């Protein structure tokens, strides 16, 4: 039997569910299999006490050993079948839940990746992990538990009541009243348990966030001797979590003890009733045993329901947060009539009175930026730290839209351009290069297997001067990078980032230079690669080292979000009144 498809591989072109429920809904076959399994898991245990009754009554009535053995084997078969049905239900339920939640996870990850920098700038990686994974896991756990414990439990409970009512309406009535009472008590107790569970979950999220941030900054923390402070904070956060968890545990075990006592009392009541009925001659001993067994069967579903009430709250909170995330819209509107950037050759660039602020009501970071580059021309951006150079780069990459004016590439306002062609035709190397814990090949192609074959990858690595580096790797292109696996220096990381850009062959490149981490030899290597990259392409270079600008056509000096000087490099360099010439002479003095 193969009731399920594996969790959705991305089937291209297939429309995928967009809502939480849509993602979780099983296919018809899987649904039917589950219903059958749940039914079997409910009905089979219900039949067991009937056999016990038969056994007891027949034994008292003096039946032969053969007959009794036959009944006993029947009981055994039923018990095994019942357990098998329960195992099958558990397996089906978790398969179903994981299929559904994997679809949901993919949907969320895809959605989150489509959201722009305004969204991601406001969130830490830890928070995103918790939202995409933590919330979905809470939902998955609940779906499994709901199917197993709530649905199966309620069915079993109803079955027991119906059977007992038919066997002996008096005992049935008592059992029913008793269940109603316990149910009512539990609903009250749940009001106590849920807020404490919510508190302990919040404390856990805070602790996880704290740890994530500290681990990300471990280099800085150690270098600055802030370790002790960090451990103290961790201690305080753990303390909060301990107290929340302790309280929630205490309430939980109190509930458990309460139900144990209630069930013991209930059992005594039913046994007493049965003894009384037996004495008045209306009940066989076998029926007494049967009633006792049914009373025992009520307990497990109730206990499971208590457990579920907690998870139910967590899952509801998870669903609400997942919905919130899915409701986040891109702030960069998709063009109504997207037009692709020219598919080949260098692209012209024009910033037309561009102004920008990161927050809606915030201070403008850029204003009145005008830049024009003909196809193939290069621009060097210089300016103090915080002056707005990286922000200009982000606008050229359309990570944000300008709040005033327009960015035009290849004659097209970026807001009207097809986003896929923007990604393809505009390349970037940023200040900090992100390497992934993956092979050299995946780090170059960014996990797009069809992008280039291995020969082309080797050729490009040689072109950026990493030929020897590659030759020294134990497994060539298959060598794992990332983390500290195969130490990649800052310079090598930069060169790898250049190789990525070479791969897609863009018509406009933006290079946001790493400020000062490289040794002179690596610097020269990078300069040579930059020259090669810029040949036949339009380029914007953000440079902290003026030597990197030796060959650009134009220079723009940025100060406080404005361009305070703009012109051809050779002209500015020889104009003694220009800021650029002054910057150059400062470098000369330093030498
Ligand atoms: P550096 O030379 O240090 O790289 P820069 O010239 O690239 O500096 P930007 O990163 O563009 O400077 O920053 C310009 C201004 O915008 C700074 O005041 C900075 O604090 C602010 N800024 C940068 N990024 C953001 C952001 N994501 N959200 C809010 N403000 C930001
Ligand atoms: Mg910068």
- 43 shares its domain with 177: yes
In angstroms, the CA 10 to CA 16 distance is 9
The residue behind tokens 């998955």 is 140
Average pLDDT over residues 348-364: 90
Which residues are within 8 A (CB) of 154 and not within 5 positions of it... i.e. 6 or more apart?
A: 301, 305
- Tell me the pLDDT tens digit for each residue of 254-264: 877 887 888 88
Cα(70) to centroid(ligand 2), Å: 84
Which whole number is the average pLDDT over 298-319? Answer: 74
Query: In 328-435, where does DSSP find H-type helix?
Result: 389-396, 419-425
Percent over 70 (pLDDT), the chain: 92
Rounded to the nearest angstrom, the distance between the alpha carbon of 385 and the centre of ligand 2 is 7
Q: How far apart are CA 307 and CA 235, in angstroms?
A: 30
Q: CATH number, domain at 572?
A: 3.40.50.300
Which of the listed residues 390, 432, 559 should we mutate to test ligand 1's pocket, taking the one with most ligand atoms within 8 A of CB? 390
Helix (H) or strand (E) holding 559: strand 554-559
Q: How far is CA 586 from CA 175, 184, 568, 569, 582, in A?
A: 93, 82, 20, 17, 6
Within this chain, do residues 218 and 365 fall inside the same structural domain, yes or no? no
Q: What is the mean pLDDT of residues 463-471?
A: 89
Site to substitute for ligand 1 among 358, 400, 428, 511, most atoms within 8 A of C-beta: 358
Residues 244 and 388 in one domain: no
Q: Which atom of ligand 1 sits closest to the CA of residue 388?
A: 11
- Beta-bridge partner residues of 557: 382, 565
With contact defined as beta carbons under 8 Å apart, do 394 and 351 qualify?
Answer: no
Q: Based on the fold, state whether residues 162 and 252 are members of the same structural domain.
A: yes
Q: How far is the CA of 392 from the centre of ligand 2 (A)?
A: 9
CA atoms of 262 and 266, how far apart (whole Å): 6
Report how far residue 420's alpha carbon sits from residue 439's, in angstroms, rounded to the nearest whole number: 25
Reduced to 3 states (helix: H, G, I; strand: E, B; else coil), residue 540 is strand
Mutate which of 384, 387, 397 for ligand 1 pocket (most atoms within 8 A of beta carbon): 387
User: Does 425 score more than 90 pLDDT?
Assistant: yes
pLDDT digits (tens, 9 = 90+) for 33-47: 888 988 898 888 888
User: Would you say 389 and 560 are in contact if contact means Cβ atoms under 8 Å apart?
Assistant: no
pLDDT at 6 over 50: no
Task: Say if residue 13's pLDDT is above 70.
Answer: no
Q: 3-class SS at 413?
A: strand
Residues 149 and 219 in one domain: yes
Q: Residues 85, 216: one domain?
A: yes
- Among the bound ligands, name the one nearest to the CA of residue 383: 1
Q: Please say if the pLDDT value at position 137 is more than 60.
A: yes
pLDDT at residue 214 greater than cutoff 50? yes
d(CA 331, CA 323): 18
**Is residue 64 assigned to a domain?**
yes
- pLDDT value at position 182? 81
Atom of ligand 1 nearest to the CA of 359: 29
> How many angstroms is it from 544 CA to the middle of ligand 2?
9
Residues 393 and 268 in one domain: no
Model confidence at 63, pLDDT cuts 50, 70, 90, reads confident
In whole angstroms, give the CA distance from residue 152 to residue 168.
Answer: 24
Q: Whose CA is nearest to atom 10 of ligand 1?
A: 390
C-alpha span between 312 and 308 (Å, rounded): 6
DSSP string, 469-536: HHHTSTTGGG-B-STTTT---HHHHHHHHHHHHHHH--SEEEEE---S---HHHHHHHHHHHHHHHTT
| Spatial CA neighbour of 105 closest among 124, 122, 128 | 128
pLDDT greater than 50 at residue 8 = no
Per-residue model confidence (pLDDT) at position 485 = 47
**203 and 166 co-located in one domain:** yes
pLDDT per position as a tens digit, 216-263: 777 777 777 777 888 888 888 888 888 888 888 888 788 778 878 888
SS3 breakdown of the chain: % helix, strand, coil, rounded to 5? 65, 10, 25
Ligand 1 pocket mutation pick from 119, 354, 366, 389 by most atoms within 8 angstroms of CB: 389
The answer to whether residues 287 and 163 touch, using CB atoms and an 8 Å cutoff, is no
Closest C-alpha residue for ligand 1 atom 27: 121
More confident residue, 500 or 483: 500
Rounded Cα distance between 352 and 368, Å, is 8
117 CA: nearest ligand 1 atom: 27
Within-domain flag for 459: no
Give residues (CB < 6 A) around ligand 1.
Answer: 121, 358, 365, 383, 385-391
Between the CA of 585 and the centroid of ligand 2 the distance, in Å, is 23
Q: Note the ligand closest to the C-alpha atom of 121.
A: 1
Query: What pLDDT sits at residue 346?
Result: 93
Let me know if residue 17 belongs to a domain: no
Which has the closest alpha carbon to 24: 141, 130, 110, 111?
A: 141
Which domain CATH number covers 204?
A: 1.20.1560.10
Nearest bound ligand to the CA of residue 558? 1
Residue nearest to atom 3 of ligand 1 (CA): 385
**Confidence bin at 3 (pLDDT 50/70/90):** very low
| Dihedral in degrees, nearest 10, Cα atoms 131, 132, 138, 142 | 130
| C-alpha 511 to ligand 2 mean position (Å) | 10
| Cβ contacts of 137 within 8 Å, gap of 6 or more | 101
Q: 355 by DSSP, 3-state: which? A: strand
Cα torsion for 119, 122, 124, 128, to the nearest 10°? -30
* pLDDT interval class at 194 (50, 70, 90): low
Q: Grade residue 18 by pLDDT with cuts at 50, 70 and 90.
A: low
Which pair of tokens denotes residue 230?
């960090």
C-alpha 389 – ligand 1 centre gap (Å): 8
User: Residue 381 has what pLDDT?
Assistant: 93
Please check the confidence at residue 196 and state whether its pLDDT lies above 60: yes
> pLDDT (tens digit, 9 = 90+) per residue, 452-462?
889 999 999 99
In a domain, 211, yes or no: yes
Which atom of ligand 1 lies nearest, measured to the CA of 544?
2
Residue keyed to tokens 């409701």 = 327
C-alpha distances (whole Å) from 60 to each of 63, 66, 282 are: 8, 15, 16
In a domain, 448, yes or no: no
Helix (H) or strand (E) holding 240: helix 227-279
Give me the number of domains the chain comprises: 2
More confident residue, 42 or 120: 42
The set of residues, in sequence order, having a beta carbon less than 8 Å from that of 45 and lying 6+ positions away, is 82, 156, 297
Dig out the tokens for 80 from the structure. 């095994």
Please report, for residues 245, 247, 253, the alpha-carbon distance to residue 250 in angstroms, rounded to integers and kept in the order given: 9, 5, 5
Nearest Cα neighbor of 394 from 332, 329, 330, 442 is: 332
Average pLDDT over residues 313-323: 75
**pLDDT over 80 (residue 128):** no
User: Does 379 lie in the same domain as 310?
Assistant: no
* Higher pLDDT pick, 322 / 40: 40
Same domain, yes or no: 192 and 237: yes
- Ligand 2 centroid from CA 389, angstroms: 6
Instruction: Report which of residues 407 and 21 the model is more confident about.
Output: 407
Sequence-ordered list of residues with C-beta below 8 angstroms from that of 360, at least 6 positions apart, any chain: none
The per-residue pLDDT for 409 is 95
Contact (CB, 8 A) for 306 and 259: yes
- Specify if 44 maps to a domain: yes
pLDDT category of residue 14 using cuts at 50, 70 and 90: very low
pLDDT surpassing 90 at residue 138: no
Query: Which of 365, 394, 546 is the best mutation target for the ligand 1 pocket, counting ligand atoms within 8 Å of the beta carbon and taking the most?
Result: 365
Q: Which two tokens stand for residue 359?
A: 């927050």
Ligand nearest to the CA of 399: 1
Element (H, E) at 269: helix 227-279
Question: Are 163 and 311 found together in one domain?
Answer: yes
Q: How far is the CA of 512 from the centre of ligand 1 (A)?
A: 12
Residue 375 lies in a domain: yes
Taking the mean position of all CA atoms in its chain, how far away is CA 125? Answer: 9
Which protein residue's CA is at the shortest distance from atom 2 of ligand 1?
385
Helix or strand holding residue 564 (H, E): strand 562-568
Range of the domain at 359: 349-435+488-590
Q: Is the pLDDT of residue 12 over 50?
A: no
Looking at ligand 1, which residue's alpha carbon is closest to its atom 19?
Answer: 386
Distance separating alpha carbons of residues 582 and 573, to the nearest angstrom? 9
Residues 282 and 372 in one domain: no
- Residue of 465, 467, 472, 486 lying closest to 531 (CA atoms): 465
CB atoms within 10 A of CB 75: 18
SS3 (DSSP) at 356: strand
The answer on pLDDT for 303 being more than 80 is: no
Mean pLDDT of the chain: 83
Q: Alpha helix locations (H) across 168-226?
A: 169-216, 218-223
Task: Give the pLDDT of residue 588.
Answer: 62
Ligand 1 atom at shortest distance from the alpha carbon of 431: 4
540's CB contacts (< 8 A; 6+ apart) are 349, 373, 378, 379, 381, 392, 393, 396, 508, 509, 510, 511
Centre of ligand 1 to C-alpha 215, Å, is: 24
Ligand 1 nearest-atom number relative to CA 394: 11
Q: Classify residue 444: in a domain, yes or no.
A: no
What is residue 515's predicted lDDT score, i.e. its pLDDT? 52
Q: Which ligand 1 atom sits nearest the alpha carbon of residue 389?
A: 6
The reported pLDDT for the residue numbered 10 is 44
Res 415 pLDDT > 80? yes
Predicted confidence (pLDDT) at residue 511 exceeds the cutoff of 70: yes
Spell out the residues 6+ positions from residue 295 whose beta carbon is closer than 8 angstroms to its own.
175, 266, 267, 270
Q: What's the CA-to-centroid distance between 422 and ligand 2, angstroms? A: 21
Name the strand (E) or helix (H) holding 228: helix 227-279
């Amino acid at each position: 039997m193969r009731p399920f498809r594996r969790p959705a591989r991305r089937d291209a072109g297939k429309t995928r569910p967009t809502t939480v429920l849509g993602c979780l809904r099983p296919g018809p076959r899987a649904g039917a299999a589950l219903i059958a399994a749940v039914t079997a898991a409910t009905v089979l245990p219900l039949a067991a006490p009937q056999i016990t009754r038969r056994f007891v009554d027949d034994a008292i009535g003096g039946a032969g050993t053969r007959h009794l053995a036959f009944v006993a084997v029947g009981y055994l078969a039923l018990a095994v079948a019942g357990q098998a049905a329960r195992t099958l239900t558990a397996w089906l339920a978790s398969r179903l839940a994981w299929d559904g939640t994997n679809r949901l996870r993919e949907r969320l990850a895809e959605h989150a990746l489509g959201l722009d920098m305004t969204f991601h700038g406001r969130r830490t990686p830890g928070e995103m992990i918790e939202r995409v994974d933590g919330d979905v896991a809470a939902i998955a756990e609940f779906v499994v538990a709901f199917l197993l414990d709530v649905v199966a439990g309620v069915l079993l409970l109803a079955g027991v009541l119906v059977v007992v009512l038919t066997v002996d309406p008096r005992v049935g009535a008592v059992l029913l009243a008793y269940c109603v009472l316990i149910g009512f008590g539990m609903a009250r107790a749940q009001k106590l348990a849920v807020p404490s569970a919510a508190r302990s979950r919040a404390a856990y999220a805070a602790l996880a966030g704290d740890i994530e941030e500290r681990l990300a900054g471990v280099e800085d923390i150690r270098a600055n001797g802030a370790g002790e402070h960090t451990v103290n904070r961790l201690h305080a956060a753990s303390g909060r979590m301990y107290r929340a968890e302790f309280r929630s545990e205490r309430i939980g075990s109190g509930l458990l003890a309460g139900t144990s006592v209630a069930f013991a009392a209930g059992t005594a009541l039913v046994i007493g009733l049965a003894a009384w009925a037996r004495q008045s001659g209306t009940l066989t001993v076998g029926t007494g045993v049967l009633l006792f067994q049914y009373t025992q069967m009520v307990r497990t579903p109730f206990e499971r329901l208590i457990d579920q009430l907690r998870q139910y709250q967590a899952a509801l909170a998870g669903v609400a947060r997942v919905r919130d995330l899915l409701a986040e819209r891109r702030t960069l509107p998709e063009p109504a009539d997207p037009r692709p950037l020219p598919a080949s050759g260098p692209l012209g660039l024009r910033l037309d009175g561009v102004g920008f602020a990161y927050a809606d009501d915030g201070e403008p970071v850029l204003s009145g930026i005008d830049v024009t580059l003909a196809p193939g021309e290069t621009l060097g951006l210089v300016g103090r730290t915080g002056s707005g150079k990286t922000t200009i780069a982000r606008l050229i990459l359309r990570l944000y839209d300008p709040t005033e004016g327009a960015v035009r590439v290849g004659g097209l306002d970026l807001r009207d351009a097809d986003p896929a062609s923007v990604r393809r035709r505009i390349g970037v190397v940023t200040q900090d290069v992100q390497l992934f814990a993956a092979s050299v090949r995946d780090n170059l192609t960014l996990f797009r297997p069809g992008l280039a074959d291995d020969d082309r990858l080797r050729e490009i690595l040689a072109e950026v001067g990493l030929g020897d580096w590659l030759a020294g790797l134990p497994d060539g292109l298959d060598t794992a990078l990332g983390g500290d696996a195969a130490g990649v220096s800052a310079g090598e990381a930069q060169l790898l980032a250049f190789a990525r850009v070479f791969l897609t062959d863009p018509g406009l490149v933006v290079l946001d230079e790493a400020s000062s981490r490289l040794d002179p030899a690596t610097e020269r290597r990078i300069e040579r690669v930059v020259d090669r990259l810029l040949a036949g392409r339009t380029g914007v270079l953000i440079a902290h080292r003026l030597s990197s600008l030796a060959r650009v056509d134009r220079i723009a000096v940025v100060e406080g979000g404005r361009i305070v000087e703009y012109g051809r490099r050779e002209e500015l360099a020889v104009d003694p009144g220009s800021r650029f010439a002054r910057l150059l002479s400062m470098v000369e003095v330093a030498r």
